C-alpha cells in the first residue's frame, strides 16, 4: 500500500531500530481496516492461559478452536492477532501471511494464589521467526516484587528480537502487594507503567484505561500542583500518551471493564479523542458470537478511522 | 488480501517448510500487480556488480541512485526487488515494508578472466533479517569446477535461512569450461540446472530461457528416444517446469536475450503459455527511462495476469 | 512387530551405537515386505541430480513428480526411500511416518568434465531430523584424489548423526584417475571399498556388484595364492560380505548393469545365494511404469524373502 | 582539541585500561563547556523510571519528550547525557555524535514497597555500542541485602565494557534496612560507597553530597581519633575524593537536596573547593524551563571552570 | 560541534546503520580542519608494510617513529589517521581521543613476486575497539584471482564492525593478471572498483584517481555510446562519484602519481571540482619534512574548505 504520512511519521520515531524492525512495524500499521491510519486494533487471546478455557471460551464455544481466532481477526480486519505459542502453532501454517502475528512470550495462569504475580516464559524469539510473526509480546507487572526479574527478561529478549528485525510489544500491567486494587488502574500508576515499558525499549505499549484515582502520595502532590487534567477519560488517555515519550511511542489500551457495548464504545471514543493509538480487545471480541463480534469490532474500527464518532 | 486458490495450492507444495517461510513466500506471491495470481515479476539489480556501473546504468543515469530501483519496483507493481547488500542498505529504511526484498548473498564481477566462474559471498542471513527481507538469493554455476563448493555454501545458507523463516531463491546458471557457449542455454542443461536447484531445496528457481540445442550426448539420446517436445519456446518452458519437480517448485525466467520489445514480449507469452511462473527482469527494466520501463513491465504483467495475450 | 531372531542378531553387531541408532536401524529392518527377514530393499532416487531430470525421468514421466517416489516405495513395500534434500522436502509432510527415509547428504552432477569425481554437500544431519529421517546417506569415491576429504566429511557427519540416534549408510563407489574403468567393479576394489566404508563406521554399506576382474597387482598375488573363490557372482558376493567385517555389517548391492529383467533377477538370486543383505534399486524401479516396477520389485522381494528362488 | 595537562594527568591514572577506554574517557572529559578542565557536568535523566513520568516531567512538560534532554544537554554544553535504554533509543540517530552518551544499564522503580532496594537490568554493553555510547552507567546499593548480587553484575558488565573500550560509571548509593535514613548520606557511608565503587573498577564514581553525620560506630571512633576534618561541605568533599583512591579516580556528586538555587550553587562551590570532579544534575536541570536550566547550568559551569566563584 | 547541514545530509544516506555507526561517521566528518564541511583528509601510513621501512621512511627519518604520524595527522588537522595494528598500538594510549583512528585490518607486503596480489589479515574488529578506533579499513583487489575470498572476508568483518558501531572504509584497488598496468587506473575500472566497494557495504570508499584510459571492450562501447564525459580529471571524478551510488556514498581519492606539488594540488582541485569527498594522502605527507608536509596539507585543506581554489 502507499505509505501514509502518519505511518511515515510514526516510523520516524524509531530511529535506533533496523530497517527489519521498521518493516514489521509497518506491517502492523498497514494491515487491516485501520491500515495506514496510524491506529491499531489487535485481537489478543491469552485468556485460555490466564483464566482457563471454560471461563474464556464457554460463553462462545467455537472459540475453543484455535482456528476461530485467526478467522475472527482476519474477518474483523484487525491489524494483528496475538496469542501464546500453542494457539499460534495450531494455525500458523493454514493462515500463513494472512494477518500479522504477535507471539506472547510469557504467560500467567491463575491456579495458584499469589500476592505478587509473575509470568512464565512460554515462547522464544526463534519460535516467533519460525511461525512468521511480526512481533513478540511480553507482559511486565510493575509493582510486583518480581518486576525486576521481568524487566531483565524483556531486556534480553527485546535485544534478541530487535537483532532479527522483530517488533516488541509490552503489556504493562501494574499489580502486586504494594498496590491497592484500584491502584492498578490509577492514573499515576498507568502513566508510570507506560513510562517503564517505553524506557525498556518497547515499540508498542499496552496499558489499561486509567481511572482518575491517584495511588501514590508523592504523585498526588505533583498532579495537584501542576494541575494535570484527568477529569475525563479522554484527558486521562492524553496524559498516558504523554507519559510514553510525549506521544512518540505507540500506546494502545485494553478493552476496559465495560460489560455493555454502549459504555465500551464510549471508551473507544475517549481513546480516540485523547490521541490513543488504538485498542487491544480480547474478551469483548471472542466471548460473543462471531457475528456480534464483527459488528462491535466494526464499530470500533469506524471510530478509529474517523468514519464514526 | 484474500488467499487465492492458486496461492494456496502453491504454498501446499512446501510442506517441509515452517509457517515463517510460508509467510514470506505468501508475501512474495501476494504483493504487487500479480499478487494472488501465482505469477511473479521480480526486479533484480545486481548488474552493477556483475558488469560494472557504467555498463549497467549509463543507458539510464537515474539508475545510478539506489533509491531509483526501489521506486521502479514499487511503481511497476513488482512482487519483489532483489539486490546485493549495498543497494539494499541504501534504501531499506526509507522504503521499509513497501515491497518484499530479496538479498542476493553472493555476487560475481567481470574484472578477472576465468574459465570457470565463481561468486563471492557478499551478504548473510543476519543481514537479510536486519534489512527486513523476505528471501535470500544465491547464484550457483552448475558446470563450473567451483560448483560443488557453491552447492555446499547454499546448503548451509539455506538451512540457516529456513530456520529463521526466510524463503530461498536460487539463480541456477550453467557455466564453465566443460560447457560450450550455446550449451549454457541448451534445453537439457537448463532443465538439469533447474533440477539441481530444486534438489538443493530452493523455493524459487531462476533459470534462463532455453534454446532447442542439446549439449550432452547422453541427454540427446533420451530426448530423441522419448520424443520430448522442444520445438517451441512454450514447449521448452513446459519441459523446464516439469524438470523442477513436475511443476511443484516455482520456476521463473530471466529476461532473455531479446533486444527489442516485440520479441521480448513474445518470450513472456511463451513463458505464460508453457506454464512458467513469471519473470525476473533487470536490464530490460532499468536500462530505459522509468516511463518506458513502467510501460513494458505493465505489458508483462498484463500477459501474466491474463489481461493480455 | 515381533522382533525376529535375525534382526536381533543383526542389531547385536552394533554394540557401540546408542539405543537411538538401534531404534532407527530396527525401523529400516522391520518395515515393508522384507520386514523382519534381515534383508533390505531400498528405493534411491538421486539420479535427477546425478544425470539430470530428462535422462532420469523422461522414460517414465510421472517420476518427475517427487510424490511419485514416495508412493512407489510405499506401494512396493520397500524398507526405505533415499533421496536428496529437495525430493524429501517435497513429500516429507504428506508422507510423514509412512516409510523410513534416508537423506542423501551429498550429491554429484555430471555437467562438468572431471577425472576424479567429488560430491557436494547438499544436506545436513539437522535436515534429516527435521524431515523425520531414520538415516543419512553419504557417497565416498575411494580412488579419487578427493577421497581423503570425503572420508573426513563423513567422519564428522557420522559422528554427528550417531550422536542424535540416526543410522549411517555409505555409498562406496571406487572411481578416479588411478583406476581403470573395469577396475571400478573389480572384485578386489569392491571388497576394498566395502572395507573402507565399514572402517569409517557405516551401519549399512552400499557397493556395486563385483566382476571377477582384479585391478591391483598386489591384490592379484594374494587372491591367486590363497585361492579365494570368485568365479561365480554368488561367490563374489560372499567375498564382499566377508570383506565387510565377516558379515557383521549390512552390505547391500546396487541394481547392476543388467538391462533386461531376467539377468537382473539372476543377479538378485546371486546376492541372496552369496549372503548379501539386499538391494538398492533405482533406475530399474522408477524408469518403467509403476505397474511394471511393482511387478519387478515384488519379484525381488520374493527372492529375498525366500518365497521365490 | 588540544590535550590539557589536567586531562592528560587524569588519563594517566587509568593505566590498566585500554586505549579504547581512554579514548572514551577523553571524549567525556573534553566535550562541552568544561572540556579540558578535568571537570564534568553530566545530565542524567532516569527519573522517569525512578519516580514515574508525572513526578519527573509535569513540572516542565516539554521534558516528556525524549528529544528535549538531548537538546538540553547539548545546549548547556554538558560533558555527557545519561539515560536508560528507551530515552537513548528515541534520540540516538537524530543526535548521533552530538554529545557523549552514557547508557544506564540498570534502573529502579518505586511502585513496590521495599526495605532493601534492587535494580533491574535494562540495557547491555551491546546496546551501548549500537547506540554509540562512550560509557555505561550502573547503580549499586551498598547497604542493601542485594548488594553482593549487584556487585557481581557490575563486575561482569564492567569486564565486558572495558573489553570493547567503553568507560564505566558507577552510581554508588548506600541504602537498605541496615542503614538509617540519614545514614545514607553520612560522611563515613558516602566515603565507603565511593571506595567500593573504586574497588569495583569504576572509572567515574557518582555519590551524594555527604553530611557530617557518622553512621557506623566503628567508623566514628576512627574519624574522631584521627581528626578527619568534616565540618564544612568542602572538607567533606575533599575527604570523599580521598576515599576514592586519594583523588586518582573521578568522583562526581549529585545535585543534592537543595530546592533553591542559591544554596544549590553553594554546594557546587563546595564541591569545587573540595577538589570534586563535578556534578551530575538531573531534576535541577530538567524540572524547570529550558531557559532557566541553561542559566543554572551555566552558573555551575562557570564555577567549575573557574570563571565564577 | 554544531551539526552542519552537509554532514546531516551525508549521515542520512546511511539509513541501514545503527546510531553507533553514525556516531563514528560523524566523528570522522566533524574532526579537524575540514570538520563539518563534508570533506575528508586522511593520513594513511601502511607503506612500511607495503614497501618496507627504508623505502617508506628514509626520505624523512623521523617517520620511522610511530608517534610521528599521530602528531603529523593531529597538527595537520586531518579528519583521521589510518594505519596497521603495530603503528596504532604504538601510539593509541598516548594520543587517545586526539584524532579518530582507522585500523587497517589487512595488509600486503612486496617481498614475494605475484601476478595476482592478496592481503593478509593483520587486525580485528576487537583490536579496533580496544584501540579506540572509529572505523576499520580493508583493502580489496578487484581483478585479482583472490578477489572473491577478499570480498567474503570484508563481508564478514563489515557485519561484525557494524554490529559494534564502527564505520567501514574500503580501499578498492583493481589489480591482477587480467588487467594491464594502465588498466588499474582506467576510468571504467576505477568506477567498477568503487561500485563493488559500495555494494559490499562500505561507508567510505577509497580509490585511485582515474585516467581517461578505458580497459574493457564491453565498457568502451557504453562510454562511447552514452558519451560519458571523461576528458578532464574533474569530469572523471564526477563519474566515479556517480558510480558510487550516485554520490550517496563517501568516495575519497589517493594522492595520485604526481611527484611535484603543483600538479598534485591541481589534482586536489579536480577532486573538489568533480564533487569528490576528499583525499587520503600518505607518501606526499610523511616523506617530506613535517614543516613541508603541514604546508602541503594546509593547502589541500584550503582547497577542500573553499578557502583556496
pLDDT, mean of each 10-residue run, chain E (309 residues): 95 98 98 98 96 94 97 98 97 97 96 92 97 98 96 98 98 96 97 98 98 97 97 98 98 82 96 98 96 97 91
- Looking at chain B, the whole-number percentage of residues with pLDDT higher than 70 is 99
CA distances from D246 to C147, D40, E226 (A): 69, 18, 73
D257 pLDDT tier (thresholds 50, 70, 90): low
Mean pLDDT of A51-72: 95
In this complex, is the C-beta atom of D136 within 8 Å of any C-beta atom belonging to chain A? Answer: no
Residue recorded with cell 562512550 = D134
In this complex, is the C-beta atom of D48 within 8 Å of any C-beta atom belonging to chain A? Answer: yes
Q: Coil, strand, or helix at residue D120?
A: strand
In this complex, is the C-beta atom of C107 within 8 Å of any C-beta atom belonging to chain B? Answer: yes
In this complex, is the C-beta atom of B188 within 8 Å of any C-beta atom belonging to chain C? Answer: yes
Q: A196-246: per-residue pLDDT in tens?
A: 999 999 999 999 999 999 999 999 999 999 999 999 999 999 999 999 999
β-pairing verdict for D80-83 and C80-83 = unpaired
Nearest CA in chain D to E91: D19
Is C203 exposed, middle or buried (CB count within 10 Å of its CB: 0-12, 13-18, 19+)? buried
- pLDDT at res. C257: 65
**C91 contact residues in B (CB cutoff 8 A):** 15
Residue D197 C-alpha cell reads as 565503587
Identified catalytic residue from A206, A208, A238, A304: A206
A1 pLDDT tier (thresholds 50, 70, 90): confident
- pLDDT at res. B220: 97
CA–CA dist A89, A95 (Å, integer): 10
Nearest CA in chain B to A164: B129
How many residues would you count in chain D?
309
Residue C21 near residue C203, CB atoms below 8 Å: yes
**A248 contact residues in D (CB cutoff 8 A):** 65-66, 90
Residue D30 near residue D36, CB atoms below 8 Å: yes
E strands, chain D, in order: 40-44, 80-83, 101-104, 106-107, 120-121, 135-140, 167-172, 204-207, 250-254, 278-280
Q: Does B251 have pLDDT greater than 90?
A: yes
Nearest to C280 by CA among C83, C71, C25: C83
ipTM: 0.95
Residue A293 C-alpha cell reads as 463480534
D308 pLDDT tier (thresholds 50, 70, 90): confident
Query: How many C-beta neighbours within 10 Å does residue D126 have?
Result: 16
Q: B188-244: per-residue pLDDT in tens?
A: 999 999 999 999 999 999 999 999 999 999 999 999 999 999 999 999 999 999 999
Kindly report the backbone phi and psi dihedral angles of residue E120, in degrees, each rounded to the nearest multiple of 5, phi listed first: -95, 140
- pLDDT at res. B308: 84
> What is the helix (H) or strand (E) element at residue A18, kind and residue range?
none
In this complex, is the C-beta atom of D303 within 8 Å of any C-beta atom belonging to chain E? Answer: no
> What is the helix (H) or strand (E) element at residue A169, kind and residue range?
strand A167-172
Nearest to B255 by CA among B175, B188, B171: B171
CATH architecture of D5-304: Alpha-Beta Barrel (3.20)
Residue E258 near residue E267, CB atoms below 8 Å: yes
Chains near C with 3+ CB pairs less than 8 A apart are B
Chains near A with 3+ CB pairs less than 8 A apart are B, D, E
Suggest the residue from A8, A27, A96, A129 to mutate for an interface test with chain B (most B CBs closer than 10 A): A96
B165/A130 Cβ within 8 A: yes
CA–CA dist A275, A247 (Å, integer): 8
CA–CA dist C178, C301 (Å, integer): 37
Q: What is the dihedral of CA E251, E254, E260, E263, to 10 degrees?
A: -20
Nearest CA in chain E to A19: E16
Residue D218 C-alpha cell reads as 566503628
Residues of chain C with pLDDT under 50: none
A97/B26 Cβ within 8 A: yes
Nearest to A297 by CA among A279, A309, A275: A279
Our answer on whether C and D touch (3+ beta-carbon pairs < 8 Å) is no
Q: Does D258 have pLDDT greater than 90?
A: no
Taking the CA atoms of C66, C70, C71 and C72 in sequence, report the sign of the dihedral they define: positive
Residue C243 near residue C192, CB atoms below 8 Å: yes
β-pairing verdict for D106-107 and E40-44 = unpaired
CA distances from B61 to A281, B287, C240, E283 (A): 51, 9, 69, 36
Please give the radius of gyration of chain A, using alpha carbons only, rounded to the nearest integer: 18
Residue C109, C-beta contacts closer than 8 angstroms, at least 6 positions apart: B142, B147, B192, B196, C49, C50, C52, C120
D164/E92 Cβ within 8 A: no
Identified catalytic residue from D39, D162, D206, D208: D206
Residue E68, C-beta contacts closer than 8 angstroms, at least 6 positions apart: E62, E286, E290
Nearest to D220 by CA among D176, D266, D183, D272: D183
Q: Residue C281's beta-bridge partner residues? A: none
Kindly report the backbone phi and psi dihedral angles of residue D278, in degrees, each rounded to the nearest multiple of 5, phi listed first: 135, -165
Q: Does D256 have pLDDT greater than 80?
A: no
Identified catalytic residue from E206, E208, E223, E304: E206
Our answer on whether D and E touch (3+ beta-carbon pairs < 8 Å) is yes
CA–CA dist D81, B140 (Å, integer): 51
Catalytic residue numbers of C, as ranges: 173, 206
Q: Does A34 have pLDDT greater than 70?
A: yes
Residue E193, C-beta contacts closer than 8 angstroms, at least 6 positions apart: B111, E142, E172, E173, E174, E207
β-pairing verdict for A80-83 and A101-104 = parallel
D155 pLDDT tier (thresholds 50, 70, 90): very high
In this complex, is the C-beta atom of D231 within 8 Å of any C-beta atom belonging to chain E? Answer: no
Q: B112-151: per-residue pLDDT in tens?
A: 999 999 999 999 999 999 999 999 999 999 999 999 999 9
- pLDDT at res. D98: 98
CA–CA dist A164, A160 (Å, integer): 7
Suggest the residue from A14, A18, A162 to mutate for an interface test with chain E (most E CBs closer than 10 A): A18
Residue B143 near residue B174, CB atoms below 8 Å: yes
**A131 contact residues in B (CB cutoff 8 A):** 18-20, 165
Touching A: D residues 59-78, CB under 8 Å: 59, 61-62, 64-66
B30 pLDDT tier (thresholds 50, 70, 90): very high
B259 pLDDT tier (thresholds 50, 70, 90): confident
Q: Is A275 left (phi over 0), alpha (psi -120 to 50) or beta?
A: left
In this complex, is the C-beta atom of E19 within 8 Å of any C-beta atom belonging to chain A? Answer: yes
- pLDDT at res. A208: 97
Mean pLDDT of B155-163: 98
Identified catalytic residue from E81, E151, E173, E304: E173
Q: Coil, strand, or helix at residue D129?
A: helix
Considering the entire predicted model, what is its pTM? 0.96
Each residue of B75-88: b (16+ CB within 10 Å) or e?
Answer: ebbbbbbbbbbbbb
In this complex, is the C-beta atom of A18 within 8 Å of any C-beta atom belonging to chain E? Answer: yes
Residue recorded with cell 592379484 = C220
B111/E151 Cβ within 8 A: no
CA–CA dist A190, A132 (Å, integer): 32
CA–CA dist E146, E137 (Å, integer): 18
Q: How far is B241 from chain C (nearest CA, A)?
A: 10
Residue A175 C-alpha cell reads as 499489580
Q: What is the dihedral of CA A75, A78, A84, A90, to 10 degrees?
A: 30
Nearest to B188 by CA among B217, B215, B222, B224: B215
- pLDDT at res. D286: 97
Residue D174 C-alpha cell reads as 548506600
Nearest to C297 by CA among C307, C286, C285: C285
Nearest to E116 by CA among E178, E72, E25, E61: E178
Q: How far is D63 from chain A (nearest CA, A)?
A: 8
- pLDDT at res. E256: 65
**A159 contact residues in E (CB cutoff 8 A):** none
CA–CA dist A199, D109 (Å, integer): 11
Task: Say which DSSP state E135 is in.
Answer: E
E16/B93 Cβ within 8 A: yes
CA angle C31, C32, C38 (to 5 degrees): 65
> What is the helix (H) or strand (E) element at residue D57, kind and residue range?
helix D53-57
Q: Number of Cβ pairs closer than 8 Å across B and C?
A: 141
A151 as an active site residue: the answer is no
Suggest the residue from B86, B123, B126 to mutate for an interface test with chain E (most E CBs closer than 10 A): B86
Q: Does A309 have pLDDT greater than 80?
A: no
- pLDDT at res. C258: 66
Amino acid at each position: 500500500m502507499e505509505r501514509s504520512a502518519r505511518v511515515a511519521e510514526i516510523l520516524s520515531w524509531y530511529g535506533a531500530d533496523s530497517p527489519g524492525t521498521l518493516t514489521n512495524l509497518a506491517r502492523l500499521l498497514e494491515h487491516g481496516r485501520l491500515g495506514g491510519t496510524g491506529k491499531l486494533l489487535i485481537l489478543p487471546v491469552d485468556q485460555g492461559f490466564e483464566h482457563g478455557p471454560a471461563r474464556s471460551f464457554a460463553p462462545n464455544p467455537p472459540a475453543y478452536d484455535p482456528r476461530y481466532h485467526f478467522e475472527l481477526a482476519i474477518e474483523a480486519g484487525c491489524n494483528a492477532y496475538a496469542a501464546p505459542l500453542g494457539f499460534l502453532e495450531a494455525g500458523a501454517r493454514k493462515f500463513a501471511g494472512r494477518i500479522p502475528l504477535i507471539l506472547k512470550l510469557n504467560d500467567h495462569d491463575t491456579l495458584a494464589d499469589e500476592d505478587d504475580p509473575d509470568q512464565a516464559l512460554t515462547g522464544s524469539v526463534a519460535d516467533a521467526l519460525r511461525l512468521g510473526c511480526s512481533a513478540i509480546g511480553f507482559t511486565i507487572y510493575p509493582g510486583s516484587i518480581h518486576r525486576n526479574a521481568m524487566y531483565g527478561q524483556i531486556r534480553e529478549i527485546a535485544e534478541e528480537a530487535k537483532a532479527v528485525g522483530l517488533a516488541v510489544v509490552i503489556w504493562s500491567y501494574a499489580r502486586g502487594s504494594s498496590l491497592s486494587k484500584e491502584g492498578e488502574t490509577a492514573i499515576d500508576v498507568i502513566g508510570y507503567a507506560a513510562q517503564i515499558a517505553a524506557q525498556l525499549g518497547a515499540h508498542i505499549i499496552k496499558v489499561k484505561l486509567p481511572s482518575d484515582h491517584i495511588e501514590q502520595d508523592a504523585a498526588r502532590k505533583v498532579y495537584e500542583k501542576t494541575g494535570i487534567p484527568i477529569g475525563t477519560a479522554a484527558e486521562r488517555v492524553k496524559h498516558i500518551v504523554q507519559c510514553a515519550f510525549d506521544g512518540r511511542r505507540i500506546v494502545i489500551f485494553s478493552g476496559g471493564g465495560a460489560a455493555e457495548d454502549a459504555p465500551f464504545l464510549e471508551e473507544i471514543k475517549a481513546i480516540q479523542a485523547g490521541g490513543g493509538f488504538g485498542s487491544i480487545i480480547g474478551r469483548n471480541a471472542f466471548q460473543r458470537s462471531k457475528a456480534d463480534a464483527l459488528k462491535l469490532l466494526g464499530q470500533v474500527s469506524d471510530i478509529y478511522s474517523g468514519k464514526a464518532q
